[in-house]
Amino acid sequence: MLKNLPRLFLFLLGTILVINLLQAHFTELIFDEAYYWYYSKKLAWGYFDHPPMVAWMIKGSSLFFEGELGVRFMSCLLSASTLIILWMTIDHPKKKEYVPHFFVVAFSMSLLNAYGFFTLPDTPLLFFTALFLYVYKRFIAAPSVILSIVLGVVMAALMYSKYHAVLVIVFVLFSNLKLIRDKYAILAVTISLACYAPHFLWLYEHDFVSIKYHLFERPNQAYDFNKFTLGYLVNLLAIFGLTFPFAYYILYKSKPKDIFSKALTFLTYGVLIFFFISSFSKRVQTQWIIVVSIPMVLLIFNYIIENEKTRKWIYGLGIANIIILLYLRVGLIYEPLFPIVFETHGNKKWVDRLEYDVWDIPVVFENSYRNAPMYEFYSGRKAISLNNIQYRQNQYSIDGSEASVQHKRVFYVTPYTRIAGFAYPLPNGDLFYGEYIDHFESYRRLKVILEKDELDNNLDKTFKMKVFNPYEVDIPLDKLKFGLAYLNDYKEVRDIRKVAASPIDATILVLKSNDTVNFTFKLPKTKMEEPGYFRIGISENDLPYGLNGNNIKLK
């Protein structure tokens, strides 16, 4: 395959690969990368926030290198492979005359550039989107059983990368609805579902926790035009940088000439419109729309080959984009060059200081799936995140990690309570505080179950709930206290109150292993005028209330 690539193409590709490898080695991890590195320590078919592809990639990287490059090596290879696949997808007879233009188009896109070395779920999403389009182009030209199998496997890999991948598949399908009755397409979907079955099984075994969180439990905010819709429009500019006027002009001027170009335009417009509509209900993160970079590289490059004036503008502005991006990339390593304190700055320093104080004592971070894996990565010491009612669930909530620190002496770190003697500054200026707990014991997997997901907002009414103990040990009830968080209509915690919960059977003093105890409780008074939801948490040994119950709608 590489033999058919122009020498200039290979030279520029090799240059970019070397730059990305050096960047990957010398740049400290960002918090999400540390979190996904934590995923990779225990490979599975799924994780709380995402499908498992990003964890598999990091595990693969660790087989070759240690440190940051041991997290990012596969990302660098996939990024280079993405460029090769995009080039192979283009069949314009003059493409070899414009190799530098191709690299300027691709390398000047901000997130496509950044994900050349960062390891995030979007990295494999970009690669498999490019591969999906490449295989699809050959599939529609000459469908066969072999191509159906390959297409099915690639679609599964897409979905193993990120749930947003469903948009890629759906919008390409919308561009060619005849596929619904095509036997080869049906075979491809069947193969894809079969390959994805292990993740479906994982979701089932974990009570569809990922789907529930992303669709129903995720906190939101009241609609704000500046933060939501205007913010989304700014993101549309950011992914293309200085070339954005010409990029969207080319998208507008690109009229589908065949089934494949129709797929490119449907995919691009579909994703942009989908998230534009979403921006009226939630904040749209920039990386959610990054997938349009793949079809846009193809559309822009094919267009500028035929249009000299636009080609000159794209080339000039693209080089300017690249200069800015390379400057910022150096700033990721050398902090004084970057305009703000970024996630890649100063993490080794705060980790070193904390490790110096606690040495090999496990660290329990309150409500921080970001700091816990960052500390563990750079110190090599055990750390977990203990999530409470003010926060959200994450991988630490479902993987049983608390078992590794049970009944041990731990250093408990919190950003909320000032504790004399131990204060640690983060690079962004925030402080967190710590104290030793000699005999740590938590029961965050206790499950509070209410029969209904909607209750009357009546302070005088008595309600029933069950508490299930999934642990292998019995738990004395006197170790447990109950609290209730009131949330607004956007599922943001606004008030936390104690709850006087009593066992229906007053003779029960112990919550036995793998057993349930029934309680009664009343809703406590709140300063909130009209709370939208509540959820119940359990405090064990006077720790903050946990995330033990689901959000219950108040009517």
Q: Going residue by residue through the chain (555 aa), what tens digit of pLDDT does each one get?
A: 667 899 999 999 999 999 999 999 999 999 999 999 999 999 999 999 999 999 999 999 999 999 999 999 999 999 999 999 999 999 999 999 999 999 999 999 999 999 999 999 999 999 999 999 999 999 999 999 999 999 999 999 999 999 999 999 999 999 999 999 999 999 999 999 999 999 999 999 999 999 988 888 888 888 889 999 999 999 999 999 999 999 999 999 999 999 999 999 999 999 999 999 999 998 999 899 999 999 999 999 999 999 999 999 999 999 999 999 999 999 999 999 998 889 999 999 999 999 999 999 999 999 999 999 999 999 999 999 999 999 999 999 999 999 999 999 999 999 887 665 678 888 878 888 898 999 999 999 999 999 888 899 998 899 999 999 999 999 999 999 999 999 999 999 999 999 999 999 999 999 999 999 999 999 999 989 889 999 999 999 889 999 999 999 998
* Residues 346/335, Cβ–Cβ less than 8 Å: yes
CA-wise closest residue to 535 among 469, 456, 453: 453
* Domains assigned to the chain: 9-336 (no CATH), 363-437 (no CATH), 447-554 (2.60.40.10)
Q: What does the angle CA 347 – CA 77 – CA 191 come to, to the nearest 5 degrees?
A: 115
Quote the CA–CA distance of 19 and 326 in Å, as a whole number.
Answer: 10
Total-model pTM:
0.94
Q: pLDDT tens-digit profile of 258-305?
A: 999 999 999 999 999 999 999 999 899 989 999 999 999 999 999 999
CA 138 to chain centre: 31
Percentage of residues in the chain having pLDDT higher than 90: 88
Count CB atoms within 10 A of the CB of residue 34: 23
* Residues 264/298, Cβ–Cβ less than 8 Å: yes
Quote the CA–CA distance of 139 and 150 in Å, as a whole number.
Answer: 10
Q: pLDDT tens-digit profile of 377-394?
A: 999 999 999 999 999 999
Residue bearing tokens 């003093």: 509
CA-to-CA dists, residue 284 to 36, 73, 127, 168, 371, angstroms:
21, 29, 22, 17, 24
Quote the CA–CA distance of 46 and 209 in Å, as a whole number.
Answer: 10
DSSP state for residue 214 in the 8-state scheme: I
CA-to-CA dists, residue 105 to 112, 128, 394, 506, angstroms:
10, 19, 37, 71
- Which residues, in sequence order, are bridge partners of residue 537? 483
φ and ψ at residue 281, rounded to 5 degrees: -130, -20
What element of type H or E holds 336?
none
What element of type H or E holds 20?
helix 7-26
CA-to-CA dists, residue 30 to 249, 315, 346, 370, 381, angstroms:
34, 31, 11, 9, 18
